Amino acid sequence: MNWKTSLNPILISGAEVLPIVEGGKGIAVSDGVSSGAWAAEDGIGTFSAVNPHIPGAKELSLIESYSSKIRIKRHAEMIERAILGGIAQAKIAYETARNRGRIHMNVMWEMSGVDVILNGILSKVKGLIHGVTCGAGMPFRLAEICAKYNTKYYPIVSSARAFSILWKRAYNRFAEWLGGVVYEDPWIAGGHNGLSTQENEAIRELPEPRVLSLRNTMREFGLDDSVPIFVAGGVWCLREFTDWINNPDFGAIAFQFGTRPLLTKESPIPLSWKKSLLTLKRGDISLNRFSPTGFPSSAVNNSFLQDLQNRSARQVVFSMDSNNIYTEVFCIPREVFVRQNDIPDIQKWIREGFSVPLITPSQTLVFVTPEQNRAIELDRSKCIGCISSCRFSGWTQDQNAQPPIPDPRLFCIQKSLQHIVINGDVNNALMFCGHQGYRFAEDPFYDNGFIPTVKELFERICSGQ
Ligand SMILES: Cc1cc2nc3c(=O)[nH]c(=O)nc-3n(C[C@H](O)[C@H](O)[C@H](O)COP(=O)(O)O)c2cc1C
Ligand code: SF4
Residue type at position 131: G
For ligand 2, say whether the CB of 412 is within 6 Å of any of its atoms.
yes
Whole-number Å distance between alpha carbons of 278 and 440? 5
Higher-pLDDT residue of 458, 58 = 458
pLDDT tens readout for residues 297-350: 999 999 999 999 999 999 999 999 999 999 999 988 889 999 999 999 999 999
Q: What phi and psi, each to the nearest 5 degrees, are found at residue 298? A: -110, 125
pLDDT above 70 (res 209)? yes
User: Does the CB atom of residue 113 touch ligand 2 within 6 A?
Assistant: no
Give yes or no for residue 131 CB within 6 A of ligand 2.
Answer: no
- By DSSP bridging, strand 181-184 and strand 152-157 are parallel
Sheet with 335-339, edge to edge strand ranges: 326-331, 335-339, 315-319, 364-368, 356-359
Average pLDDT, the chain: 95
Strands 20-22, 253-257: parallel, antiparallel or unpaired by DSSP?
parallel
Ligand nearest to the CA of 108: 1
CA dihedral for 262, 263, 268, 273, sign (positive or negative): positive
Q: Is 35 in the pocket of ligand 1 (CB under 6 A)?
A: no
- Is residue 291 pLDDT above 60, yes or no? yes
Rounded to whole angstroms, how far apart are CA atoms 359 and 370?
A: 15
Average pLDDT value for residue range 48-62: 88
Q: What pLDDT, on a 0 to 100 scale, did the predictor assign at position 56?
A: 85
pLDDT in tens, 397-449: 888 888 899 999 999 999 999 999 999 999 999 999 999 999 999 999 999 99
Distance 403 CA to ligand 1 centre (A): 28
Query: Which residue has the least CA distance to atom 27 on ligand 1?
Result: 258
Of the pLDDT bands very low, low, confident and very high (cuts 50, 70, 90), residue 60 is confident
Q: Per-residue confidence at 5, pLDDT binned at 50, 70, 90?
A: low
CB atoms within 10 A of CB 209: 10
State pLDDT tens for residues 78-136. 999 999 999 999 999 999 999 999 999 999 999 999 999 999 999 999 999 999 999 98
- State the pLDDT at residue 183: 98
Q: Is the peptide bond before 27 cis (omega within 30 degrees of 0)?
A: yes
H, E, C per residue of 143-191: HHHHHHCCCEEEEEECCHHHHHHHHHHCHHHHHHHECCEEEECCCCCCE
pLDDT band at 3 (very low <50, low <70, confident <90, very high): low
| Ligand 1 atom, smallest distance to 156 CA | 11
Amino acid at 221: F
Strands 44-48 and 15-17: unpaired
| Cα–Cα distance for residue pair 232/433, rounded to 1 Å | 13
**Distance from the CA of 460 to the center of ligand 1, in angstroms?**
20
CB-CB contact of 61 with 81 (8 Å): yes
pLDDT band at residue 59, thresholds of 50, 70 and 90? confident
Q: Kindly report whether the global pTM for this prediction surpasses the value 0.85.
A: yes
Residue owning the nearest CA to atom 3 of ligand 2: 385
SS3 call for 73: helix
CATH 3.90.1170.50 for the 3-269+439-462 domain, yes or no: no
94 lines ligand 1 (CB under 6 A): no
Question: Residue 457: is its pLDDT beyond 80?
Answer: yes
Ligand 2 pocket: which of 73, 387, 407 to mutate (most atoms within 8 A of CB) = 387
Measured between alpha carbons, how far is residue 309 from residues 108, 221, 303 in Å?
26, 44, 10
User: Mean pLDDT throughout 40-46?
Assistant: 97
At residue 375's C-alpha, the angle toward residues 80 and 373, to 5°, is 135
| Dihedrals phi, psi of 182, to nearest 5 degrees | -95, 120
Residues of the chain with CATH 3.20.20.70: 3-269+439-462
CA distance 416 to 431: 9
Picking from 101, 97, 93, 94, the residue whose alpha carbon sits closest to that of residue 9 is 101
Burial class, 370, CB count within 10 angstroms (exposed 0-12 / middle 13-18 / buried 19+): exposed
93's enclosing H/E stretch is helix 71-97
